[in-house]
Structure 1
């Protein structure tokens, strides 16, 4: 979902809008590109195979319609309302670790609970560490406006050269994310830019195999 979000977002949001009722939704795709239609159908097919959809049908040309109904069980509701984005974040980081051949000590914590100085509980989405560097990553598929001030305060509490706070958003242009970053003191990224930015963050930990590679890296 994450790597192809822009191609499936219309269908995803339509299905997500029916999670509270479980009713079917009819998605008209006459104005979709062939690529968007292909990815959207594959997305729904995969959800149906996993029983995340209780009903799915694609009506070909000339109708170009998807009819789908979400399965209203807690696992599905939790996944489609946002847990998928946390999974995407973790999966992308794991892929980058392999790609960069990072041999340093790494660890993940999903949804850890911490206690603030005032005694309040606070649940984080993802904590990821490479040696002494800690990456705190929050992800939101909607209603991020209500969380920014809270995240900003948490970023200040965790303020350290070794702690790197990120907020990953969907459906928000990177230009807007850049403005939010300046306002709230944490790096805000559109989902499409997350992998590229995290690649640069983790690049210093890349395992160098030989002198030639070191030389090339220095030149780059």
Structure 2
């Protein structure tokens, strides 16, 4: 009796177990996973029961031995049943595969696309272009601090530009900083001292003093590489990146992005991008310069062609140049050029102003 109950439970138990197992292993395959798992379980269960039946027939009636012809006929029946199961499974798989192929990627694997990290989506796009990604910026616990400083400096750059030029030179050369603010406006002095206080709080300055009477500012730069890179240009990349993210979010635009990917091009050439967005699965590439842009405009124009990114999807943002010069550089070269004041307007026009901008 117990043996019969156990035999009765074998087939459904294996069918259910295999169905659950395959569903766990392939969570994005839905009904197909259930079908494969349950059918596999059914086949295994049927095979197990058949083996049991064969063994029982061979052992339960020792006094009665089937003839070879009877045993052959019995086995042929079991083979026929297995063949029927396999044919049904193959037919079901073909039908479901056809249905899956007819669906768009967003319908077939929505969970995978939703849970995939933004940077991985962009990396996959680069890989599809034949480009290898060796490294890229991964946010850490200090991200918020750098973002705050970058936003402060970027938002108030018109009042901080005089001080920043000297600050950048100080960090680049590793020299102490001495700035006379006597001729600067009250607003400039306020923002400059506030920014220095913030840098001092975060130990970006190894020493800082402001002489209110003489309006003299004294500071010593921190010599840590991470801080130097931030002050000499990294902040501007962050400011541009954060501003573009805000622009896309305000327009309810889904996007993915990656910062500072170090890549190897199809021809084996090494290169590093500043910022790469995917907007509607189309690239939007941004490079940022805080000075010495003359040596880079031609290089970026050539690289845009190598990357197969349309001119209308590429933007070089140069700190401190005149707006008219941005227009002239855009006309002269195969990349759009902007400054800290007009890059958002230009980016908005390129991304949202023309539905055809992503086509050569």
Find the structure with the greater CA-based Rg. 2
Q: How far 1:21 sits from its partner (Å)?
A: 4.7
Match of 1:46 in 2: 198
Closer, same or farther in 2 for the Cα pair 1:93/1:188, shift >3 Å?
same
Distance in structure 2 (CA, Å) of the matches to 1:131 and 1:98? 13
How much does 1:161 deviate? 4.8
Q: 1:152 maps to what in 2?
A: 301
Distance (Å, rounded) in 1 between the aligned partners of 2:272 and 2:325? 26
Shift of 1:149: 1.3
- Whether contact under 8 Å (1:8, 1:39) holds in the other structure is yes
Q: After the TM superposition, which residues 50-199 of structure 1 pair with which residues of structure 2 at under 5 Å, given as runs?
A: 50-61=202-213, 63-102=214-253, 104=254, 106-161=255-310, 164-199=313-348
Residue by residue, what CA displacement relative to the aligned partner does 1:13-59 show, whole Å, maximum 9, x if unpaired?
21221224533211111111111111111111111111111111122
Does the 8 A contact of 2:313 with 2:350 survive in 1?
A: no
2:181 — aligned with what? 29
Q: Tell me, which stretches of 5 or more residues in structure 2 are unaligned?
A: 1-152, 355-360
TM-score, reference length from structure 1: 0.84
**C-alpha deviations, 1:88-115, integer Å up to 9, x for none?**
111112212332233x3x1111111333
Map Cα deviations across residues 160-209 of structure 1 (whole Å, 9 max, x no partner): 5596111011121111111111111111101111222233344469xxxx
Distance 1:143 1:161 in 2: 24
Cα distance in 1, alignment partners of residues 273 and 335 from structure 2:
14
Residue number in structure 1 paired with 2:34: none
SS in 2 for 1:51: coil
The aligned residue for residue 13 of structure 1 is 165
Counterparts of 1:2 and 1:52, CA distance in 2 = 17
Question: Does the CA contact (< 8 Å) of 1:167 and 1:188 recur in 2?
Answer: yes
Q: 1:32 to 1:132 in 2, by over 3 A?
A: same
**Is contact 1:111-1:125 (8 Å) kept?**
yes
The separation in 2 between residues aligned to 1:59 and 1:76, in whole angstroms, is 25
With over 3 angstroms needed to count, the CA separation of the structure-2 counterparts of 1:202 and 1:150, relative to structure 1, is: closer
TM-score after normalising by structure 2: 0.53
Q: Report the secondary structure of 1:109's partner residue.
A: strand
Contact 1:168-1:194 at 8 Å conserved across structures: yes
Q: CA separation in 1, counterparts of 2:343 and 2:353? A: 17
CA RMSD of aligned residues (A): 2.0
CA contact (8 A) 2:283 2:309 kept: no
**Range 111-120 or range 29-38, more displaced:** 111-120
Distance 2:215 2:349 in 1: 41
Change (3 A) 1:78 1:161: closer
Supply the distance in 2 between the matched residues of 1:160 and 1:49 (Cα, whole angstroms): 42
Distance 1:149 1:204, change over 3 A: closer
